[in-house]
Chains A and B, each alone.
Chain A
Amino acid sequence: MSVIYLLISISILIAIGFFIAFITAVKTGQYDDDYTPSVRMLFDDELLKSTKFKNTVENNEEKELDV
């Protein structure tokens, strides 16, 4: 019956594992902004025509210089 020691220890260890995960998450600031990520995940990584993209970046720079 001493398996109970083993089982309880494992369950506590798993709980501690999750607890540590929670603490690290808080520490790295993942809970600081709870709104933006919820919106961000709904955005598509929409397609980008690479050639056109490069052109426009350069165009843009010219524009900046004009300013």
Chain B
Amino acid sequence: MDTQNCFHCGLIIVKAEEIIFDEKKFCCNGCKTVYEIFSLNDLTCYYDFEKSPGATPQDINGKYDFLDNESIVSKLLEFKENSTAIISLNIPHIHCSSCIWILENLQRLQKGISSSQVNFPEKKVRITYNPEEVSIKTIVYLLSSIGYEPYISLENYETGTSNVDRSLTYKLGVAFFCFGNIMLLSFPEYFEVKEYWLDQYRGFFRWLIFALALPSFFYSASGYYVSAFKSIRSKMLNIDIPIALGIVVMFVRSTFDIVMDYGSGFFDSLTGLIFFMLLGKMFQIKTYSFLSFERDFKSYFPIAITKINSDSLEESVPIYEVEKGDRLLIRNQELIPVDGILISEKAEIDYSFVTGEAIPITKKSGDKVFAGGKQIGKVIEMEVLHSVSQSYLTQLWSNDVFQKNVVQKHKTITDRISRYFTPILLLIAFSGFGYWIFIDANIAFNVFTAVLIVACPCALALTAPFTFGNVLRILGKQKFYLKNALVIEQLAKVDTIVFDKTGTITTNKKSNISYEGEILSDEYLLLIKNVLRASNHPLSRMLYDYLPISILPNKSANDAKKWRVDAFEEITGRGMEALIFGHQIQIGSADFLEKTEENKLQQTSVHIKINGVYYGKFIFNNQYREGLASLFKNLSSGYQIKILSGDNEGERATLEQLLPKGTELIFNQKPEQKLEFIKNLQDKGNNVMMVGDGLNDAGALAQSNVGISISENVNVFSPACDAILDANEFQKLNYFLKLSKNSITTIKMSFALSLLYNVVGLAFAITGNLLPLVAAIIMPLSTITIVSFVTVMSSYYANKK
């Protein structure tokens, strides 16, 4: 067993903080506690399914106080009666079989829970419990204490039971049922066995086939008629017109054949066609149910907030009920839901969500704080200026781009082909009819219908769904999740790529810290590190983690005393001063250390002064993602690249070095300006792809032709977009774009192939030789070859790096 990693969560154990319990090694007390809970309850099986499956429980003190509020809880529940209540909770940490096991055994940990069921793809657990015995708050605390903290956001507010649309599954079921039975019943006709008893029962077989074809024709295929009708009305010829036409003609002709006793008709081909086309539709729909592409601010916002009443009592109120003049209490790591004025003395607010600025901003009493910022540090109080719907951040969502329920503006590749296909098809049908009418009216009718039947572009209609379906799966495996198949076509058309800076081409994880100035001795570094330990400022934390020296060389008590900080003072927004081991150490901004400096580059830096002597500064640079330079080099050959940043120009020089020449860099962009920028590019006729991350890019992502959101952890959150890309796969972007282009090529090739089948079929049809058997062979044959062709081709392109 690997002893370096925590038995519970798998993180690497820092030697000094190692905890040994029950002969197992843990990285922290939290993990140990979870293990303790499990072992007390005989639930250690948890660790058998997956190695180190757990997560360290987070401190949630006070965070879920709103669950005491009955009216809020009732909005979250799915069902409630006297002694039974059901709630579905979203738990982002669900990731393996151990998770399923422990969450489905919750009733062993908590009295009052009767059962719980995990939905793994959606990362949800549905808990049935008795509200008289256990409160929802207790359940949430229990879940958090074992490392499965549920995520409850404003989005959960007023969730009814959502209706899932399963009609495609029903249609497919009906189509397959009809198709299979008709095929069986058609066999005698195929072999034309001239036996007495088969002849005898022919009528019975045929009418049974007819009856079986009805549900498929009227129900399963109904989507095609509707779509064809709509497209005629909007004067856009789409692929569904020839399909619907083919189906209807096939049905009428076959019915006619049976009634007049001419033959068995084409019901086998008809139902087969409907089935395969629905199968294609089904195949194209690949959903990532644990991802959401439609997120707006609601999924970021908490559901309730702590309000301080006039009699200075704390109370949880739903966000929507917050009014102007209310006093709110914001805890560490909580999101500020509304604009307001800070009442507390000071606050550190992280606006990375809204502006992309990575370093928190210090606000003083009386300053305005805007919605969307995250509070870091001690509890603060604020007074509300605007209600939720009127706040700065929410206003962004009133922009038109978010109201789009617009029908897709672009035509799909299949529809573009069918614009030519449909008129040509009708032309052939009528000219065939015109030719034969002078020879034999009966044959003329047959030829006319046969042309429409055989040319029914089912292979054509199957090409795109199967190619895209396959590519969607390939991309999904590589952690690039597309909203739907249409995005692939859009990706192939992109000619301009706009990147956000912070969080997109840089990582949020670590800053690249460098030191400039006189070299600090190891002793001084040690002193600095000890001073930093006392500070909670984010920059101090980062610097503390960065400094390589271990803080206590010896664990002996004497040494520990030696390193004690004797005097410490932190001045908000400026720096700190400490006396340690007889040295006076000052750490902070240039201004604080009375160092007048030409800060042209607007770098974020921390200066060091020891015993009154200025030593130097630590500079915080953004850490760019791996492979960035080569990615941009590759991309620049085929695309225009632009960088939009909400940040200041501090990084311009570094970026220019990193990026190919001629890349446009634009700084200090507000969310609305980003949106406007994309719009201008589009007005110039460009197909723009926006790559962004936080809420500050949400407008631009929605406006662009393809909005890709980069996420460090895809299970958590990303703004509304067309695709979500796992941050670790960022350097593969060029490959993804290439693949989508190649998939369009694949489609074009297989269009040629399917047209070939149409020509062969037409040759039969136009000469009046289309027998049901021929149709029954051509149809599945073309389908199978097309499907295997596109699957093989798209997999081939996917493997070609």
Contacts and interface: CB of A to CB of B under 8 A. Distances in A.
Interface of A: 1, 4-5, 8, 12, 15-16, 19, 22-23, 26-27, 29, 31-36, 39-40, 42-44, 46, 48-49, 52-53, 56-57, 59-61, 64, 67
B141 A64 contact: yes
A36 B204 contact: no
Contacts of B716: none
A23 B173 contact: yes
Contacts of A19: 173-174, 177
Contacts of A15: 177, 180-181
Interface string B36-53: 010011100100000000
Nearest to A9: B208
Contact of A49 (B42, B111, B141): B42
Nearest to B200: A1
A40 B41 contact: no
B208 to A, nearest CB: 7
Contacts of A26: 166, 169-170, 173
Contacts of B110: 57, 60
Interface string B165-190: 01001100110010011000100000
Nearest to A15: B181
B45 A46 contact: yes
Contacts of B197: 1, 4
A23 B108 contact: no
7 contacts: A15-B180, A26-B173, A40-B104, A46-B42, A56-B40, A57-B109, A64-B138
A29 to B, nearest CB: 7
A33 B94 CA distance: 14
B117 to A, nearest CB: 8
A39 B100 contact: yes
Contacts of B104: 40, 43
A1 B197 CA distance: 8
Contacts of A42: 97
A37 B146 CA distance: 23
Contacts of A49: 42
Given A12-B181, A31-B169, A53-B108, A4 B120 contact: no
B142 A64 contact: yes
Contact of A4 (B166, B173, B201): B201
Contacts of B121: 33-36
Interface of B: 37, 40-42, 45, 61, 97, 100-101, 104, 108-111, 117-122, 138, 141-142, 145, 164, 166, 169-170, 173-174, 177, 180-181, 185, 197, 200-201, 204-205, 208, 212
A39 B49 CA distance: 10
Contacts of B45: 44, 46
A39 B111 contact: no
Nearest to B44: A46
Given A1-B197, A64-B141, 5 more contacts: A33-B121, A35-B120, A43-B104, A56-B41, A60-B41
Contact of A27 (B42, B111, B166): B166
B142 to A, nearest CB: 7
Return the 7 tightest CB-CB contacts between A and B, nearest first: A36-B120, A35-B120, A33-B119, A19-B177, A39-B97, A56-B40, A57-B111
Contacts of B122: 33
Contacts of B100: 36, 39-40
A60 B177 contact: no
B97 to A, nearest CB: 5
A23 B176 CA distance: 12
Contact of B204 (A5, A27, A34): A5
Nearest to B96: A39
A46 to B, nearest CB: 6
A47 to B, nearest CB: 8
A25 B212 CA distance: 22
Nearest to A19: B177
Nearest to B117: A36
Contacts of A29: 164
A44 B117 CA distance: 16
A36 B103 CA distance: 12
A61 B42 contact: no
A56 B204 CA distance: 70
Contacts of A39: 97, 100, 120
A22 B108 CA distance: 34
B33 to A, nearest CB: 9
Nearest to B100: A39
B120 A33 contact: yes
A8 B208 contact: yes
Nearest to B107: A57
Nearest to A12: B181
A25 B640 CA distance: 51
Nearest to B177: A19
A12 B208 contact: yes
Given A53-B108, A60-B37, A23 B170 contact: yes
Contacts of B97: 39, 42
Contacts of B201: 1, 4-5
A15 B142 CA distance: 49
B173 A52 contact: no
Most buried by A among B41, B110, B164, B204: B41
Nearest to B122: A33
B51 to A, nearest CB: 16
